[in-house]
Structure 1
Amino acid sequence: MNSPGLSAERTALAWRRTAVAVTVVGALFLNHAVNSGWRPAAIAPVGAAIASAVLAGVSYLRNRGLRTGRYSCSSRIVAVTAVAVVAIAVVAAAIGFTDPLP
């Protein structure tokens, strides 16, 4: 039988995985910006890296809140997270189409 604590634990782990994943994606965006040279086109990956860092922070704070027993969820947090993930994916796709690997 599931207790309310287990679902909160699973949700906290999902937020932690999100934080780790967007941290890695942000590092990859920065790596792309540095390796491709600091030209004006590097603004997009640097912006996506900053958005990834903010999203990682939000995900970490949500994970920490769930672990300390603050279960209230703002639908705004989930909506902002979804929009940020889609925006970062669009930037990644644009980079892939406009600056493919040699």
Structure 2
Amino acid sequence: MSAPAIARDPGLATERTALAWRRTAISAIASATLFTKVAAEGGIGWRPTGLLPLGAAVLMMLVAAIALARSRSLHRGAHRGTAPLLLLVSAGVAAVGLAAMAMVLVHRA
């Protein structure tokens, strides 16, 4: 027995979703670049506050990789469940937001 073929959605909803994932990847790469710039120019060393921007940059590159993989799979017509991906991306973005707030609060004091 062969596996059932995945039906391809001929509508534009899949295309819009794939483009949204691609935009998420682009914005995550831009955020990672800015966090790397903050770490390089900040002169904050290897203290925990210096590691926050580097950790945020790595996390945003992971988000970008997930988003790009999802965009490509949608372009190929794979319509699997996205709940684990959405949860992972949401948790990553929330963690980066918390790290950014922590950096601002620590450097204001």
CA deviation string 1:10-44 (max 9, x = no partner): 10011011000011111111100111123312111
Matched, 1:99 2:99: no
Matched, 1:78 2:86: yes
Give, as a single letter, the amino acid of the residue that structure 1 aligns with 2:52.
Answer: A
Q: Which moved more, 1:83-92 or 1:34-43?
A: 34-43
| Paired-residue identity, % | 32
TM-score (norm 1): 0.89
Q: How many residues end up aligned between the 2 structures? A: 98
- 5+ residue gaps in structure 2? 1-8
Matched, 1:7 2:13: yes
Aligned partner of 2:98 among 80, 84, 90: 90
Give, as a single letter, the amino acid of the residue that structure 2 aligns with 1:25.
Answer: S
CA distance in 2, matches of 1:49, 1:21: 12
Aligned partner of 1:62 among 56, 70, 77: 70
Runs ≥4 residues deviating over 3 A: none
CA deviation string 1:66-92 (max 9, x = no partner): 001011123111111111111111111
| Larger proportion of helix | 1
Aligned-pair CA distance for 1:4: 4.8
CA distance in 2, matches of 1:96, 1:58: 28
CA RMSD of aligned residues (A): 1.4
Indicate the structure (1 or 2) with the bigger Cα radius of gyration: 2
2:46 paired residue number: 39
TM-score (norm 2): 0.83
- 5+ residue gaps in structure 1? none
